[in-house]
Amino acid sequence: MAAPPWDELVSGVVERRPRAVARLITMVESREPGWQEAMRALYPRTGDARVVGITGPPGAGKSTLTNQVSRTLVAQGRRVGIIAVDPSSPFSGGALLGDRIRMRDILTAPGVFIRSMATRGSLGGLSQAARDVARILDAAGYDDVLIETVGVGQDEVDVVRAADLVIVVCVPGQGDAVQILKAGIMEIADIFVVNKADHPGAHELTMEIASMLELARLDACDDTPASCHVPALDADLNGDEAVWRVDVVETCAVSGEGIPRLVDAITEQFAEPAAAKASAHARAREEILALVDAELAGVARRRLAASLPEAAAHVAKMETDPYSAAEQLLAELGIQ
């Protein structure tokens, strides 16, 4: 069956037909020719959805939390799109069954759209792909888009930075709070959730996070610019009017305890004079560069399709080094 033309899919999305949404996402995700035109056509319809990133270590209960938050939002009469980002294997590529099974109870809920995204093959970067999918859901009238990632690597940090608001889920007993710092997510969190709050050590973890936030705030007050690693935190010290608000919320996702408070925190943060707007320029810059890089990488792969295998063979046989091989291919592309 031939794919329907782009404009048909775009209309389908605007008319909120889930089937069209699913198909357009697939085609945009795989960068089929014409995807940019579709995104351009949808762009004026975007900007209304609240895009929320949810990240945290494996086993923190992110899927369950995402389900509970969605349920609460749906009960408020909102339509919710969920993007489950799976750092799937570079070999197998696919999204895993586990999430889908756990997602199933909400899959059938009206007004909920769930989509899995795999890491692999996203030449344009997973972050850009998440951004595109969030925009399609936005244009399809979903009021909230939840981007849920697995893990807390740099990749996940990039993905959730595509969101307007970031929730970092922690659980007691997964190493101390220093691990959170190590993961480099301290600075991107707008809300910390201490999940499994009924487990031992939960309250201590909440306290630890609170004091880390306090330390970061003090750091930001320091005169030395190098130590201002949370630039937007308490930003009024820098002459800015916005104050970076960070909430810490204890939840028990399985029982649903704490979820209403979390949803309130989300709503309140979005209601505040948007600190997000302040970074609109930086985010636009980042996105444009990501799109440019992806296109350049694609062009390079197409134009070097003939010469790359030979170059790789030379390097594999140690007849040349990879640096010289790359330089030669760049010369072939006419770049210096």
**Rule CB under 8 A: which of 180-219 touch its own copies?**
181-188
CA-CA distance, 119 to 329, in Å (whole number)? 27
Size of residue set near its own copies by CB under 8 A: 85
Q: Which of 4, 34, 153, 201 binds its own copies (CB under 8 A)?
A: 153
Q: Which is nearer to its own copies, 203 or 229 (CB)?
A: 229
Q: Please give the structure tokens belonging to residue 75.
A: 């009960």
Residues 86-101 as b or e (16 or more Cβ within 10 Å = b): bbbeeeeeebeeebee
C-beta of 110: minimal distance to its own copies in Å?
28
Q: Within 13 Å, how many C-alpha atoms sit on residue 145's CB side?
A: 28
36 binds its own copies (CB under 8 A): yes
CA-CA distance, 282 to 215, in Å (whole number)? 26
Q: Which of 76, 89, 211, 255 binds its own copies (CB under 8 A)?
A: 89
CA-CA distance, 260 to 75, in Å (whole number)? 11
Question: With CB under 8 A as the contact rule, which of the stretches 11-19, 203-211, 235-243, 288-296 interacts with its own copies?
Answer: 288-296
Residues in 241-270 at the binding interface with its own copies, rule: CB under 8 A = none
174 binds its own copies (CB under 8 A): yes
Collect all residues with Cβ–Cβ distance below 8 Å to 250 and sequence separation of at least 6. Answer: 193, 194, 197, 202, 203, 206, 258
Q: Which of 3, 207, 218, 289 binds its own copies (CB under 8 A)?
A: 289
Collect all residues with Cβ–Cβ distance below 8 Å to 8 and sequence separation of at least 6. Answer: 20
C-beta of 255: minimal distance to its own copies in Å?
19
Residues in 315-334 at the binding interface with its own copies, rule: CB under 8 A = 315-316, 318, 321-327, 329-330, 333
129 binds its own copies (CB under 8 A): no
